[in-house]
A and B are shown apart, each in its own frame.
Chain A
């Protein structure tokens, strides 16, 4: 708890929390929203393709979207870190926050596991995606929705 309170009093934390500038807390929140739109959005598009929608899209080009998703991920890791540090004693003692971290770790792991399948790339119109891959794509969608839900609920639920 002492460590958490120390975190809250670091220069970064104080700036995020107390600066009246639009470039502080509001911009950090904005970046967090844009990052999530990038990661979850592109991931959803890839997952929908793997689940059989838009079958005309070849798989291996989709693998080239990963750098965009990693960019979104790191934007959120950094902006999320700033948000946590500014409110460390509440965020890091809130189970909902840790649930969100686990969900994101699982969702990102799914992305990693899916990439080789994309690179092996069935061309457009090839036979049905294997069930194992479809499960990964489906659970990926569920995990991201759950992560967004947990993220939104952090502000509403404190234990």
Chain B
């Protein structure tokens, strides 16, 4: 099992999952089924989280097949661009879906504007995912090539344009680094407060009171996703040749699952004022803090653990 193999397997999750989730979501809206709405929003968030490892392993897959005469070399970059656009749509969908799940705890229902935006973005995501996925399959499978996959990328978002934006400037990289540190501080701060409460600090407060801070943590992770993608797209080799980077992404994905868990599930929400959380919740809280420290570790150690810098 290598990282190219991971890409081949994992890409099916957001590509097909977005179609299935959109279907579930439409059924949920049509039937007014609250639990199914909740599940759909959770799935959109989950898919967004997984799309990050899918994208970065894709770059490794590219390096693996670059000299392979059996694949369509000319489809690779259009697939990458289509994937980047699908990535962006999936992230936007996941962000709004997450917000709906968070907001549900405050207002005890789903806001119509939020459901509408998720429906629209979810549909766009499916369109882009199908395009990216079909192109990706056609790289290897000549039996599905129709001959007209190499269309110019829709819109301005291509890997080359992002790379040029970052690399043609002297100040964008350092500015993105500063934002990456600010984002990690915001994220880690919210994670620390929420999980310290779960571990028994500040017990007078309910978990629900700290739940209100979660959007700031997600804002931090959004800033870091954007700046992280800028680094990755501008200089991919120093990351794809570095196993520490993939440890970072792996731990980050797991830690992101914890964020989703504390946002939407009932067990953390049930920890009221003065209540000592059950051992299972404490274990989850402790591992969440450990995971984010692990992310910081591999992020900071990137130049020293790998050999690509």
Q: Which residues of A contact B (CB under 8 A)?
A: 22, 26, 29-30, 33-34, 36-38, 40-45, 48-49, 53-58, 60-62, 64-65, 68, 124, 144-145, 148-149, 152-153, 156
Contact = CB atoms under 8 A, between A and B. Distances in A.
A58 B181 CA distance: 28
A42 B191 CA distance: 9
Given A26-B301, A61-B205, A64-B202, A45 B184 contact: no
Q: Is the interface of A mostly helix, strand, loop or mixed?
A: helix
Contacts of A65: 193, 196, 201-202
A45 B202 contact: no
A156 to B, nearest CB: 5
Given A30-B301, A53-B216, A45 B189 contact: yes
A122 to B, nearest CB: 13
B206 interface: yes
Interface stretch (B40-48, B207-215, B225-233): B207-215
A57 B297 CA distance: 30
B174 interface: yes
Give the most central of B181, B190, B206, B305: most A CB within 10 Å.
B181
Contacts, number: 109
A26 B205 contact: no
Residues of B contacting A: mostly: helix
A40 B220 CA distance: 13
B301 A37 contact: no
Given A57-B210, A61-B202, A156-B174, A43 B301 contact: no
B193 A45 contact: yes
Given A41-B190, A64-B201, A53 B185 contact: no
Contact of B182 (A54, A56, A148, A156): A148
B213 A48 contact: yes
B190 A45 contact: yes
Contacts of B210: 54, 57
B177 interface: yes
Contacts of B269: none
- Which A-B residue pairs are the 4 nearest by beta carbons? A41-B189, A56-B209, A61-B202, A54-B212
B297 to A, nearest CB: 6
Given A40-B185, A41-B192, A60-B204, 12 more contacts: A37-B188, A41-B191, A43-B189, A45-B189, A45-B193, A49-B213, A54-B210, A54-B212, A56-B205, A58-B204, A64-B202, A153-B174
Nearest to B193: A45
Nearest to A63: B202
Given A41-B192, A54-B212, A56-B206, A152 B178 contact: yes
B174 A41 contact: no
Given A41-B186, A41-B189, A54-B213, A124 B205 contact: yes
A25 B161 CA distance: 35
A42 B182 CA distance: 12
